[in-house]
Structure 1
Amino acid sequence: MIGALLAQRARRDGRQLSMWVVGTAAMAGLGYVGVVSSFATEQERAALLAAALANPVILLFRGLPSGAEEATFIIFLIFPWLAILASMMSLFLAVRHTRGDEEEGRGELVAATPAGRTLPVIATAAHGIIANSALALLTAAAFVAVGLDPAGSLIAGGAAAAVGVTFLGVGLLAAQLMRTSRGANALSVWIMLTTFLICGFGNAIGTPSDDLTRMESSWLTWLSPFGWGENVRAFSDNLLWPLLLCLALGGVLSATAILMASRRDLGESFVAERLGRASATPALSTSTGLAWRLARGGALGWAIGGFLVGVLATTLATVVEEIGAENPSVQEMINQIAGVGDVDQATLTTFFTMLGVLAACAGVQVICRARQEETRGTAEIVLAAPLARVRWLSGYLVVAFVVVLIVVGAAFVGAAMGIASQDSSWHLMRDALVTGSGQAVAAFVFAVTTALIFTLTPRLTIPLGWALIAFATVLGLFGPVFGLPDWLVHLSPIGVAPIVSGDEIDARGLWWLAGAVIVGALAALSLMRQRELAPAE
């Protein structure tokens, strides 16, 4: 029976998991190319590590320094992002095949067979372990392919996958606690982000070595699975026992989830849903108001992220300028990403490119919510009223645009507060307004593209919508560092959004981005008029 369940999951997830696994391995291989081209000598790498240890805020978003050798330096730069990709793959997989299946009715069908209620959870755990094993092997193969030590490569890939197994357990447990897949995914992602920041803070307050190329973690780092993965120190110490902590915690969380699944009724949860209002607000009398009600919780989370990006964009400019004066390679790398020469502007542009990714995620999430409403049958109830399908989808598009503007607006507030706290020049606020507005238009492109996918191939809405963001992020944010040609980088909307260079505003791809938004929105609404509701598979 478990073999049949695994086969069914493999058929459903083949394309999605392939994108996660191959994308993670590609980032590992391209990371090597970027490091070799930007930090060719050990002196340059040692200088960056010394600057990072002298300004610990940088360690919030990087790994644990373990030396200036080429391989260890690559792990310092990209391991946290490899672990994040493995974690997101795992927790989304866990929720999709447990709470998600219950919401869509598949869980009840499977529970009516000899599989019962617990075997599907066991099969999901096994499926997640297999996916993480594939990720570990392919990531290790990418490192070996670029000439790194095979043993260290395997340990590096295994460390990222071990963190993924931990969050597989987190996702399974969250699916038992929360009543909806949206709530379970939100809880899992917040736990992931919190532990990521705990690891970063723990590294930042650690003890540096005398030569400023290695950092010993503080006790705080050991409270995070990301810290366990980083303390493996691949290509340096190659420790294995921290991996056992990740696997043990993932096993305990998974076993707890299996036990909880056996103790609750199908469709119920251990955390009760909040009671609704006795009467609906006037806003819920419209389909757009309903779409906003469904999206507002996620909008708040993305807005918090946008605010933090805005703060960092302006407060770290001085730090980066100091580092760039000592190590020109750092300034060169920032300028490659940003496309401008001024350090302050380049730093702000780099962070606001990340803002474009956050805003795009927020907009795509809203459109994906329309697909979820369709598969759960609630959209059919709404459309049974005198409401045209075009108007229904347009409500989600409007809300997606509003959410994007909220996220970007929160970044503007954060940027202003950062400037005020640093007593910096307010010319950066103009740069923030121009760059942020451009990234908002880029985020609109992702929203309308996902809406177009929703009308053409509804079943691919969620996987393809998120995959486009991941692909565009690699091209637009990391492409210049990886040495990709400009024409390829400019295929990403976030990579071709307007920027400020000196005193001039460079519109870059603003007009084709705006045109894509208009044409995409009109095409999606026109096609929605012609298609019927499409249930889940």
Structure 2
Amino acid sequence: MGALLAQRARRDARQLLMWVIGTAAMAGLGYVGVVSSFATEQERAALLAAAIANPVILLFRGLPSGADEAAFIVFLIFPWLAILASMMSLFLAVRHTRGDEEEGRAELVSATPAGRTRPVLAAAIHGFFANIALALLTAVAFIAVGLDAMGSLIAGAAAGAVGISFLGVGLMAAQLMRTSRGANAVAVWVMLTTFLLCGVGNAIGTPSDDLTRMESSWLTWLSPFGWGENVRPFSDDLLWPLLLCLALGGALSAAAILLASRRDLGESFVAERLGPASATAALATPTGLAWRLARGGALGWAVGGLLVGILATTLATVVEEIGADNPSVQEMINQIAGAGDIEQATLTTFFTMLGVLAACAGVQVMCRARQEETRGTAEIVLASPVARVHWLAGYLAVGVAVVLIVVGAAFAGAAVGIASQGSSWNAMRDAVVTGSGQAVAASVFVVATALVFTLAPRLTIPLGWSFIALAAVLGLFGPIFGLPEWLVHLSPVGVAPIVSGDGVDVRGLWWLVAAIAIGVLAALSLMRRRELAPSE
């Protein structure tokens, strides 16, 4: 067991460091953002009252527990801290179980006295301590900005406990599904479903008389996110909901270990769907093959784009009404959006999130190219009359196409939102302009990941996702955290074109287009000269 844990710690050192430090940084910077944007209790109480009066907002925020500064910070950022902990745990669980089986490492380990179940147990222990580290560092970040020590520790523990719950979800998904991609997809959908379940449960809860506190409905108690939020750090400081998170994570981990002992290595409990007996004509080209591998993920990202489009246009009117009564809300939205009236700024803010979503979809395609290379399937394709340049160009084309599909789904969602609200169709023009700019920004990430793939293949996946995480922090939260404008503009999503009044501010459009053109040429040229790279 010691050797297995040491191996996991070495392998994950950089990745876990990024997850843990990133989560703690968001906690600390969240305090800075709240203090600068909502300095008085009256402003915080007004926002809480507006959020409770418009339940849709509670779908994407925490559980209101009062207008106190510390409790208000938890209301704004705790769901995102919990999501980061959950994603770290899900990916860790799948990587060290189903991922190791696909790469052939699990077979080597199982041939030793470790057997088949001890590696799964090691993954559970490894994930548990990773969440402990995340909880402690998050608490330290809260304490460092001057918040109460006990409340800070409880807030960190709540985020870590939610992560432990989803560690169990990831371990179970790895036993049920045949591939790591399928396991990750199932685990992420469970996470998103329970996140929305928690939000709906909060939205239909019972507000206090002064509209600064909300009691969750029974629906919230069906979600680990709801358990974490009902700890209510800096307010009630309840500990028993954490036991629910730990119990779920422990029960699912134990079930995963039991299932691992009951199945053959490489098999799964959900049967893999059989493919057709003959291939379609599209699979005769490398681009068609790349699309076939990416289309399932593209559908999932497109659903996310559709929801962002709907929310962008339906919530714009709501936020405009809130901003009229609470200047702090208007100021915060304008900080992120940069220009335009409050309705345009709200739409820009949501479509900036869309840019991050589309970038994730495109980068996932390029990461798939690296996975095909490490698993040896790319070698089979390149053994046929397919040039390496054409093979990479196919993935680049599909990556950009997936970006456009996600943005197109957002356009459809925006149209649905405008029609349902009876709003002016001028908002559709704003959506098209802003969304098109974010499509260009998202394409930069696809090209950057392709460039890393040709220069440093082993860094393709970690750097690809790191680029997005850094750009999201700079572009979405940089203005709120008071970062310099030049630093915010280093993020492609933070410098994409926006609508300003009746005109369009192109901002950094031309350097984004130049970066794409130069990156594509460099990646294809370098691919012509490099050999296939092994995995590890």
Query: TM-score band, normalised by the shorter chain?
Result: over 0.9
State the distance in 2 between where 1:536 and 1:251 align. 32
Deviations 1:219-270 (A, max 9, x none): 0000000000000000110000000000000000000000000000000000
Partner of 2:43: 44
Q: TM-score, normalised by structure 1?
A: 0.99
Aligned-partner Cα distance in 2 for 1:290–1:221: 42
Residue in structure 2 matched with residue 458 of structure 1 by the alignment: 457
| Distance apart, 1:456 and its partner CA | 1.0
For the Cα contact (< 8 Å) 2:90–2:184, is it kept in 1? yes
Ranges in structure 1 where 5+ consecutive residues have no aligned partner? none
Task: Report deviation, 1:184.
Answer: 0.2
Q: What secondary structure, in the 3-state scheme, does the structure 1 residue paired with 2:261 have?
A: helix
Aligned counterpart, 2:497: 498
- 1:310 to 2:309 alignment: yes
Question: Which residue of structure 2 lines up, in the alignment, with residue 474 of structure 1?
Answer: 473
Q: CA deviation at 1:384?
A: 0.8
Asked if the contact 2:354/2:407 (under 8 Å) is kept, the reply is: yes
Amino acid at match of 1:417: V
Task: Give the distance between the partners of 1:30 and 1:363, measured in 2 at CA.
Answer: 28
**1:293-442 alignment to 2 at 5 Å?**
293-442=292-441
Corresponding position of 1:233: 232
SS in 2 for 1:27: helix
Q: How far apart in 2 are the matches of 1:111 and 1:159?
A: 35
In structure 2, how many angstroms separate the alpha carbons of the residues matched to 1:487 and 1:234?
Answer: 35
Return the alpha-carbon distance in structure 2 between the equivalents of residues 344 and 458 of structure 1. Answer: 43
**What secondary structure does 1:213 align onto?**
coil
Distance 2:375 2:166 in 1: 26
Q: 1:532 and 1:104 mapped to 2: Cα distance? A: 20
Q: Give how far 1:325 is off.
A: 1.0
Q: CA RMSD in A?
A: 0.6
- 1:23 matches 2:22: yes
In the alignment, which residue of structure 1 is the partner of 2:217?
A: 218
Distance (Å, rounded) in 2 between the aligned partners of 1:115 and 1:464: 32
Shift of 1:341: 3.6
Distance 1:199 1:440 in 2: 31
Aligned match of 1:72? 71
Aligned amino acid, residue 328 of structure 2: S
Deviation per residue, 1:72-125 (Å, 9 max, x gap): 000000000000000000000000010000001111111111111001000000
Amino acid at match of 1:6: L
Letter in 1 for 2:389: V
1:30-75 per-residue CA deviation (whole Å, 9 max, x = no partner) reads 0000000000000000000000011111000000000000000000
Name the amino acid aligned to 1:60: L
Cα distance per residue 1:126-164 (max 9 Å; x no partner): 110111010001000000000000110010001000000
**AA at the equivalent of 1:394:** A
For 2:161, the equivalent position in structure 1 comes to 162
- What secondary structure, in the 3-state scheme, does the structure 1 residue paired with 2:140 have? helix
Aligned to 1:274: 273
Find the residue that maps to 2:414 and give its secondary structure: helix
| Partners of 2:154 and 2:237 within 8 A in 1 | yes
* C-alpha displacement of 1:519: 0.7
Q: Distance in 1 between matches of 2:98 and 2:72?
A: 40
CA distance in 2, matches of 1:128, 1:464: 22
Q: Partners in 1 of 2:86 and 2:470 — Cα distance?
A: 18
2:197–2:222: 8 Å Cα contact kept in structure 1?
A: yes
CA distance in 1, matches of 2:520, 2:227: 45
Name the TM-score, length of structure 2 as normaliser: 1.00
- Partner SS, residue 504 of structure 2: strand
Contact 2:362 2:403 in 1 (8 A): yes
Which residues in structure 2 correspond to 1:85-164 (within 5 Å)?
85-164=84-163
**Separation in 1 of the partners of 2:383 and 2:472?**
39
- Is the CA contact 2:340–2:499 (under 8 Å) kept in the aligned structure 1? no
In 1: Cα distance, 2:216 partner to 2:418 partner: 31
Separation in 2, partners of 1:503, 1:53: 33
Aligned partner of residue 308 in structure 1, secondary structure = helix
Instruction: State the shift of 1:421 in Å.
Output: 1.0
Q: Which amino acid aligns with 1:185?
A: N
Helix, strand or coil at the partner of 1:263 = coil
Distance 1:341 1:365 in 2: 33
The superposition leaves residues 422-477 of structure 1 with CA deviations (integer Å, 9 ceiling, x where unpaired) of 11111111111110000000000000101111111111111111111111101001
Shift of 1:484: 1.0
CA–CA separation in structure 2 for the residues paired with 1:6 and 1:531:
35
- Return the alpha-carbon distance in structure 1 between the equivalents of residues 533 and 283 of structure 2: 24
Tell me if structure 1 keeps the 8 A contact 2:374–2:533: yes
Q: Measure, in 2, the Cα distance between the counterparts of 1:429 and 1:13.
A: 44
How far is 1:368 from its partner?
0.2
CA positional deviation for 1:521? 1.1
Q: CA offsets, 1:284-327, max 9 Å, x none?
A: 01110000000000000000000010011111111011111111
* Structure 2 contact 287–394 (Cα < 8 Å) conserved: yes
User: SS where residue 450 of structure 2 aligns?
Assistant: helix
SS at match of 2:531: coil
Q: Which residue identity lines up with residue 479 of structure 2 in the other structure?
A: P
Once the two structures are aligned, what percentage of the paired residues are identical? 84
The residue identity in structure 1 corresponding to 2:375 is: R
1:534 Cα offset (Å): 1.1
User: Once the two structures are superposed, what CA deviation does each residue of 1:474-498 show, in whole Å capped at 9, x if it has no partner?
Assistant: 1001111111111111010000000
Distance in structure 1 (CA, Å) of the matches to 2:225 and 2:117? 29
The residue type equivalent to 1:228 in the other structure is W
Q: What's the secondary structure of 2:499's corresponding residue? A: strand
Map 1:52-63 → 2, pairs under 5 A: 52-63=51-62
Give 1:425's aligned amino acid: S
User: Aligned letter for 2:496?
Assistant: A
CA contact (8 A) 2:495 2:508 kept: yes
Distance across 1 between alignment mates of 2:37 and 2:408: 33
Cα separation, 1, equivalents of 2:259 and 2:535: 27
Separation in 2 of the partners of 1:3 and 1:509?
51
Encode CA deviations 1:142-199: one digit per residue, 9 max, x unaligned: 0000000011001000100000000000000000000000000000000000000000
**Aligned mates of 2:105, 2:451 — CA distance in 1:** 27
Residues 361 and 402 in structure 2, CA contact (< 8 A), matched pair in contact too: yes
Q: In 1, Cα distance between the equivalents of 2:340 and 2:452?
A: 38
**1:290 alignment partner in structure 2:** 289
Q: Distance in 1 between matches of 2:60 and 2:270?
A: 33
Consecutive unaligned residues in structure 2, runs of 5 or more: none
The alpha carbon displacement at 1:417 in A equals 1.1
